[in-house]
Structure 1
Amino acid sequence: MTRSSLRVRAVSAALLALAIAGTASACSSKETTTEGGGTYTIWDPYPQFTDDSDWVRLLKECGTSAGVSVERTGYDTTDLTNKALLAAQQGNSPDVLVIDNPVISTLAEAGALTTTDETDLDVSAMEPHLLGAGQRDGRTYGVPIGANTLALYYNKDLLAEAGVDISTVTDWSSLTAALVKVKAAGKKGITFSAIGTEEGSFQFLPWFWGAGAQLTALDSPQAVSALTLWTDWLTAGHAPNSVINNTQTTSWQEFASGDYAFGENGTWQLANAAKLSFEYGIIPIPARAGGTAPAPTGGEFISIPVQGDTGRYAASRQLVACLTSGDNLLTTDTTLSYIAPVAAVQEQQVAANAELGVWVDAVKAAKGRTGDDLGTRYPRISEPLWTAVQSALSGARTPPEALSAAQRAADSATN
């Protein structure tokens, strides 16, 4: 069987698994070109950026440097995944695809993406643990454009009133002790998102991993300790019942009200943090026994989809190399509130804004959700995990019961 027929079958399976309903109109046409010019299509998950934005200007500039014209379309993240799979099935993929890092495994398994070896993309400067989110079976399927992750924002004024020295908050025990003081002072403790979606898993993972748990053993004692921490906080009134339905946005709104001492959220809230009516600070999420807990990485990869005309890869490679060069990464990651995937650029970011230091540390400790060779198994593990969190926080099951059920569901879904 040829690679082309294998790819079509794999993409069809991925489309079926995602229950995609699409039409040919989802794909844009493009000119047949060689390296010496023509129009190259780029799809990204940033529909908020208009044609006069810094991001789109950079795309156009990189096109000019590569000697081609760039036709860019921005999609919602979920919509982009579906359209990318459909385009691969129809043999009409964009030349360059900017895609959320957990989706790389799905597209790679479907045969929709080239490897960096095939297109001769240089990824040697990238942080290995960030690059890992775009790797599968020893192959790399793109270049990270930047990363974001989670940390704890805190209300300086509220903690001062409660007599909490933030420098003493270094592990779960000291964090809980701080919440006890906050409650005793008549204030509210901590807010986060535990909604029954990927956002809920994303926010729980720092505590899960920070306890030493692994996604292949959802019912381990370490995992139980993490879920027990959250349920104990709700029981004691340190966290509100609203976390069960909170998205990361509504959780931020609770923190921004000034009523909470801590809020778990990400780099993407920095612009909103600058508008807060109170002084705030940021600390890494502590691991159970101290140190920085591994938080999941967010952010996108720039990949080159498989093309029938392999002569297009040379210009596509130039576009990707331009977009991920040091100077352009600095500009782009500032625009996207990302931490750069290259150590030298991270240093430039911190030099320009010392507040980013804590985020660089958090990203250095972060993990890819599809890492540990989970690949496309991750979504089938994540759903039972967020279901367990919901079940325990609502009181429907104890943490051990909820996580035992989650492990059984994960086993059934992945075997």
Structure 2
Amino acid sequence: MNSSARQRRLTAAALTALAVAASATACSSGSGSTDAKGAGSGTYTIWDPYPQFDKGSAWTKLLDKCGSQAGVKIERTGFDTSDLANKTLLAAQQGNSPDVLIVDNPVVSTLAEAGVLTTTDDNKLDTSKVDPNLLAAGQSGGKTYGTPIGANTLALYYNKEVLKEAGVDIASVKDWKSLTAALAKVKKAGKKGITFSAIGTEEGSFQFLPWFWGAGAKLTELDSAQAVSALSLWKDWLKQGYAPNSVLNNTQTTSWQEFASGDYAFSENGTWQLANAEKVGFEYGVLPIPGAGGGNAAAPTGGEFVTIPVQDDTGRYATSQKLATCLTSTDNLYDTDTTLSYVAPTSEVQDKQVAANAELKPWIDAVKSAKGRTSDDLGTTYPKISEQMWKAVQSALSGAESPEEALAKAQSAVK
């Protein structure tokens, strides 16, 4: 694809959608220059959203190792997640894309629709071992644009001491009815029920989605009876005092801080809090978020995809494919996902993770039930839907509108 053709593909709609998607997720400076490129040799550039890892980290050592195995030198730049998305679009416009791009999964379909990424059919990247539900986050229009390097998702952390004092057997919590009954017992015992994030950003939508999907609702029908039941559940928890009003402003971090106080029975949060969970000073457990009628609800997948951007020099793809394959190989995924606190995207590596740490079992169960936010071929539509969803949640929980009114308005706005 020549530069003028690429610029035509980068439409205003794509730019706007990416801006919304990028602002929804969690910096570094550095040049992404790909000057003096030569296919199969020289320097290959890799951009990632991990600015926290310096040159001496295990992550950068892996990048260098993969480069050495491919016979090239790696020039790596780590960006903040939102900054990376914007830098990628700018680089594509200038015909100066990195050779390998590791990017937050909701952004993949937007970049794909903008013509920035090659497909796995084009670049011969093997995705056969990846769990289909995780791979779906990088699919658009029936094509796949990369492979996940790892995944995280949401589940319920619980305080064993609080539940014991309230007479709650965690094994009894299997659906919404039993969870709500547990919260009632906890409140009666003088403790606090559940904390989560319902803030008016993507974090709020991210945390609401397991309940939304757990009710059987679809993102294309925000005003369905199932969607109303999910929002009504949260609203009723606030009304009954099972959840605090602070959820309206809680980020996932401040919500975790409430749970870490030791007063709450449950906290909806993610794998990224595992290290902090070991420091809370009380015994905790993890439970996949239950669906309305039982079973595990689909929670949204977090995590990044390894992708190969479009290049004017198509001869570079073969080496880029070697780099991407090295980064996502079975041998390397285990160490990488341990570093990133991710669940691996393949069953083979997931089994190794559980063998090494049995406490990861509920997280792997949650990831196996998880769903990409842009799955169902939503692509660039998702950010618009998500914005209306978090607005509806805010409106209903604050008492400004009923769940029915808020979701009806949200669906109308998306249309």
Q: What is aligned with 1:368?
A: 372
Q: What is aligned with 2:321?
A: 317
Counterpart mapping for 1:306-385 below 5 A = 306-385=310-389
Counterpart AA for 1:11: L
Q: What is aligned with 2:4?
A: 5
Separation of aligned partners in 1, 2:32 and 2:156: 42
Deviation at 1:27, TM superposition (A): 5.3
Question: Any idea what the Cα deviations from partners look like across 1:253-302, whole Å, max 9, x if unmatched?
Answer: 00011010000000010011111110000000000000000000000000
Equivalent pair of 1:27/1:92 in contact (CA under 8 Å):
no
Separation of aligned partners in 1, 2:30 and 2:139: 27
Give the TM-score normalised by structure 2: 0.96
Q: What is aligned with 1:300?
A: 304
Determine what percentage of the aligned residue pairs are the same residue: 71
Separation of aligned partners in 2, 1:329 and 1:385: 34
Separation of aligned partners in 2, 1:332 and 1:52: 15
Counterpart mapping for 1:10-409 below 5 A = 10-13=9-12, 14-16=14-16, 18=18, 28-409=32-413
Deviation at 1:30, TM superposition (A): 2.1
Question: Any idea what the Cα deviations from partners look like across 1:2-42, whole Å, max 9, x if unmatched?
Answer: 7653421222423355569xxxx985222433344211111
Report SS of the residue matched to 2:157. strand
Separation of aligned partners in 2, 1:290 and 1:138: 31
Alignment coverage as a number of residue pairs: 406
Distance 1:74 1:388, change over 3 A: same
Distance 1:17 1:350, change over 3 A: closer
Equivalent pair of 2:286/2:362 in contact (CA under 8 Å):
yes
Separation of aligned partners in 2, 1:3 and 1:207: 45
Equivalent pair of 2:106/2:374 in contact (CA under 8 Å):
yes
Report SS of the residue matched to 1:313. helix
Give the TM-score normalised by structure 1: 0.96
Question: Any idea what the Cα deviations from partners look like across 1:50-71, whole Å, max 9, x if unmatched?
Answer: 1111111100110111111101
Separation of aligned partners in 2, 1:350 and 1:401: 44
Distance 1:19 1:372, change over 3 A: closer
Equivalent pair of 1:115/1:141 in contact (CA under 8 Å):
yes
Separation of aligned partners in 2, 1:19 and 1:231: 30
Separation of aligned partners in 2, 1:318 and 1:360: 28
Separation of aligned partners in 2, 1:338 and 1:88: 29
Report SS of the residue matched to 1:387. helix
Question: Any idea what the Cα deviations from partners look like across 1:131-164, whole Å, max 9, x if unmatched?
Answer: 1110111111101101100000000001000100
Deviation at 1:231, TM superposition (A): 0.3
Report SS of the residue matched to 2:10. helix
Separation of aligned partners in 2, 1:119 and 1:169: 46
Which blocks of at least 5 consecutive residues in structure 2 are unaligned? 21-28
Distance 1:363 1:18, change over 3 A: closer
Deviation at 1:128, TM superposition (A): 1.0
Equivalent pair of 2:46/2:77 in contact (CA under 8 Å):
yes
Question: Any idea what the Cα deviations from partners look like across 1:359-414, whole Å, max 9, x if unmatched?
Answer: 11100101110011111100010000000000000000000000000000111xxx
Equivalent pair of 2:18/2:111 in contact (CA under 8 Å):
no
Separation of aligned partners in 2, 1:322 and 1:82: 26
Separation of aligned partners in 2, 1:151 and 1:311: 44
Q: What is aligned with 2:24?
A: none
Counterpart AA for 1:366: A
Deviation at 1:311, TM superposition (A): 1.2
Separation of aligned partners in 1, 2:30 and 2:336: 27
Report SS of the residue matched to 1:131. helix
Equivalent pair of 2:202/2:387 in contact (CA under 8 Å):
yes
Separation of aligned partners in 2, 1:15 and 1:286: 37
Deviation at 1:117, TM superposition (A): 0.9
Counterpart AA for 1:10: R
